Amino acid sequence: MDEIIGKPAMANWDVWAEMPSSELWQAVLLSIDLSPDDAERAFNWLFGSSHQRRAADSELHYECARRMKIATAHVSFCGPITALQLYSGYEQDPKTKVGLREFSSWATSKGWSLPIKFPSAIPNVAMANSRWPWGSHHTELLGHLDAAARKWWVNYDPTDATTAPTNKDVSEWLVNDRNVSQKMAESIATLLRLDGLPTGPRK
C-alpha cells in the first residue's frame, strides 16, 4: 500500500522571505503558505496520485494544482514569469528556476492572495525605467528581439500549436517592418522559437 502523504508544513518565512529565487513548484507551494523544504515529500504531495493524499487536503491541493497549471503556462524566457535558466523543455518543467519577487508581482496581478512575508517586488530607482531583468543595458538588436517577441509570441498557447508563428513569419516581419538584415532576422527568429516545436506548417 502506498504511503499516505500529509500536506507540507507551514512555510519557514525566516528563510524564504530572504530568498531571491526558487523552483517554480516551490514558489507555488509558498504562495499558499506551504513549505517546500522537505522537497521529496512536498513534491510528491503536489504531483503524486490522489490516493496518496488525505481527503481533508483535497481543497488545498486543488488550489495548489490550479496555481501550478496557470503559473506553468506563463513561464518563458521573457516573462511574465521569467525562467532564470534556459534549456530544452524548461517551459513545462516544474523545477525551472524563477525569481520570487517577479513571481509575487505576477501572482498579485492575477488576484492571488499571498502570505504577507512572501518576497515582494521592491522598487529600484536604477531599474525603474528598464525593460530588461538585468538592468538598463540595451542594444538595437535587443530592441528588435523584444519587438518580435511581443509581436509574435505573446498570444502563444502551449496547448495549441497553430498559435505559434513560423520562423519565416517572424524573419520576414523583421526584414520588412524593422529593416533587419535577412541573416540577423533569421537568427532572432531562431532565438525566439520555442524549444521542441515541430517544423513545418501549423496544424
Encode pLDDT of 118-141 as tens digits: 988 654 444 444 556 666 677 888
User: Which residue type sits at 81?
Assistant: I
Same domain, 68 and 95: yes
For residue 36, what pLDDT is reported? 93
Same domain, 46 and 87: yes
For residue 128, what pLDDT is reported? 45
- Between the CA of residue 35 and those of 38, 75, 136, 196, what are the distances in Å? 7, 22, 35, 33
In a domain, 166, yes or no: yes
User: Which residue type sits at 127?
Assistant: M
For residues 132 and 138, the answer to whether their CB atoms sit within 8 Å is yes
In a domain, 7, yes or no: no
Same domain, 88 and 148: no
Same domain, 135 and 65: no
Same domain, 143 and 72: no
Judge if the upstream peptide bond of residue 8 is cis by omega within 30 degrees of 0.
Answer: no
Q: Which helix (H) or strand (E) holds 82?
A: strand 81-82
Same domain, 87 and 133: no
For residue 194, what pLDDT is reported? 80
In a domain, 30, yes or no: yes
Q: Provide CB contacts within 8 A for 74, sequence distance 6+.
A: 80, 81, 106
Q: Which helix (H) or strand (E) holds 68?
A: helix 58-73
In a domain, 94, yes or no: yes
In a domain, 122, yes or no: no
Same domain, 29 and 63: yes
Q: Is 135 helix (H, G, I), strand (E, B) or coil?
A: strand
For residue 79, what pLDDT is reported? 77
Q: Provide CB contacts within 8 A for 21, sequence distance 6+.
A: 84, 97, 98, 99, 100
Q: Provide CB contacts within 8 A for 62, sequence distance 6+.
A: none
Same domain, 22 and 104: yes
In a domain, 196, yes or no: yes
Domain of 46?
A: 13-109
For residues 138 and 131, the answer to whether their CB atoms sit within 8 Å is yes
pLDDT < 70 positions in the chain: 1-2, 51-52, 56, 121-136, 198-203
In a domain, 142, yes or no: yes
Kindly report whether the global pTM for this prediction surpasses the value 0.85: no
Same domain, 134 and 98: no
Same domain, 153 and 198: yes
Nearest residue to 49 (alpha-carbon basis) of 4, 98, 111, 17: 4
Number of structural domains in the chain: 2
Cell representation of residue 41: 515529500
